[in-house]
Chains A and B, each alone.
Chain A
Amino acid sequence: MLRSKAIEAIYPELEDKLVITIMGACAQELYDLGHKENFFYLQHAMGLASSIGLGVALNLPHKKVVVLDGDGSVLMNLGTLTTLARYRPNNLTHIIFDNGSLLSTGGFTSHTTSGITDLAAIAKGAGVPNVAKATTPMEFIEAVADAFEGNELSVIVAKVEAVGPDHFGMDFKLPENAFRFERYIREYVTG
């Protein structure tokens, strides 16, 4: 499965949700489908996208929040799965694209390569109520639909190929993305 195709498949569903992505390929692939003001791209601070998602979800319980994460970022902050599980906001879907690779920083293999480390099992062990694994586009679409329709914290681990875009760049500065994301919430969610 290609991450870009997986993101494309759920892109229409993201329009009414607050979306936080990790850096690099994942952010670029979402951006290339068309930026929306409800998207925040964390282009550094690896591991904290899910923490941001938790902070947003706990404070906006009536709004669905989606985090697009990666194996490398999650491995830098495994504790986040335990914190998510402890406070388990039922409006948060945490999607982990597992390409077994630190793709954006040279393609080095990560601990999840060849199935050595099972992030879904870790999420389950952390106490996340709904954990799903997806290796095909159909499984992925079904898992995401279940998570969006369901009413509990979900972690979806999607196995994807270690390929990314051939270009990087966005038409705004990083703080501008934060300002616009905060403004979007103020005007359209809490306002």
Chain B
Amino acid sequence: MTVSLDNSKAVYQGIKDAGIKFITALPETWLVYLLQLADEDPEMCLIEVAKEEEAVGIAAGAYFAGEPNILLMQNHGFLAAINGIVSLAMLYRVPLCMLIAHRGHMGEPYPWHTQGGIVTEPVLRALNIPFDYARDPQKVGKQIREAHTYSLSSLSPVALMLSRDLMED
């Protein structure tokens, strides 16, 4: 498999069109072009963390400062960030717009991703986090805008799952 550069560009354009200028992220294979685009964009502030739970705190700080922002992470990073999501974002009603690479699901050839892939959606449901799947490059921009809008209006974490259909060629 190869990561789709064209669709990564569509996702990045969606992030830009949503008015986002601040991204907190941890690198992962499906996000490689997205992070390169962010890194090369002088209008974008990209903060890379050591572990994803940090990103929840940094995103909350950016929100307090009035800066529209998103998080970019793999689903295993989402699983690693849960206490921050629950005990900062949910407890204090801080919006979080998370774009999550959904590794380890249908078509996944790598065994190490599979258990995380299997449990991600059930965990999102257990946490009552609204989520949607992005599969179509024509629609992903609108989905990003809508996820960001909804996180702000609901003062809640919202997840947009970047699927294999979207991220791989």
Chain A: residues with CB nearer than 8 A to chain B?
20, 40, 42-45, 47-60, 77, 79-80, 82-83, 86-87, 174-175, 177-179, 181-182, 185-186, 189-190
Contacts and interface: CB of A to CB of B under 8 A. Distances in A.
18 contacts: A20-B61, A43-B91, A48-B54, A48-B84, A51-B56, A52-B58, A52-B88, A55-B47, A55-B57, A55-B60, A55-B62, A57-B61, A80-B54, A82-B50, A86-B48, A87-B47, A174-B91, A182-B66
Nearest to B22: A59
B3 interface: no
A50 B62 CA distance: 13
Interface residues of B, number: 32
Interface in B6-41: 22, 24
Contacts, number: 117
B54 to A, nearest CB: 5
Nearest to A82: B50
Interface of B: 22, 24, 45, 47-51, 53-67, 83-84, 87-88, 91-94, 155
A51 B58 contact: yes
A79 B61 contact: no
A59 B57 contact: no
Given A55-B57, A77-B54, A83 B49 contact: yes
Contacts of A40: 64
A48 B57 contact: yes
A3 to B, nearest CB: 22
Contacts of B53: 47-48, 51, 77
Given A52-B60, A53-B61, A175-B92, A59 B66 contact: yes
Contacts of A48: 53-54, 56-57, 60, 84, 88
Given A44-B91, A52-B58, A177-B92, A182 B47 contact: no
